[in-house]
Amino acid sequence: MNHKKLSSQIAGLTLLLVLLVACGTPTPISPTATSTLEDTEWLLISLDGKSVIEGASITLNFAEGFLDGFMGCNGYGGGPDSGKYIATDDGTLTIPHPIAVTVQLCSTPEGVMEQEVAYIAAPRSAASYRVVDDRLEIENAAGETTLVFARKEE
């Protein structure tokens, strides 16, 4: 065996290994890495500063890297590419894909459909979150609190 060729190959592999260690292997951002949101359930109390329509409660659940819930008439959530969320311990929240929504038309309570349209748009603009006691606040990129939730009781 040619020692010069073998030494060259070992040097090349060593360099590759050093580069991989120096750069670090890419670690996917795991939504389950945050214990703050994962496996929590919430009930909306405020949407863009307005109270939720009576009789049209809106829920939000975080589980296994996806969000889902009910909006008073329609359900929403995720599939393979919809409803995923990325939350970090520093309070960043991103919902990178559209959220799937069922297609029901409800006439009561009055205004429920308009509320659903406003609600389903709000998480897509999410930029950050904070949990204080039993309250979840979600802000957009401008720092405006768009959604306020209370922890859902068992």
pLDDT tens string for the chain (154 positions)? 544 443 333 333 222 222 222 333 333 333 334 458 999 999 999 999 999 999 999 999 999 889 999 999 999 997 777 888 888 888 999 888 889 999 999 999 999 999 999 999 988 889 999 998 899 999 999 999 999 999 998 6
Tell me which of 2.60.120.620, 1.10.3720.10, 2.40.10.120, 2.40.128.270 is the CATH number of domain 31-151: 2.40.128.270
Record the tokens describing residue 111, joined without a space: 């205004």
Q: Is the Cβ–Cβ distance between 57 and 116 less than 8 Å?
A: no
pTM of the full predicted structure? 0.73
CA angle 20, 23, 24 (to 5 degrees): 75
Q: Where are the domains of the chain?
A: 31-151
Nearest CA-CA partner of 86 in 23, 30, 22, 40: 30
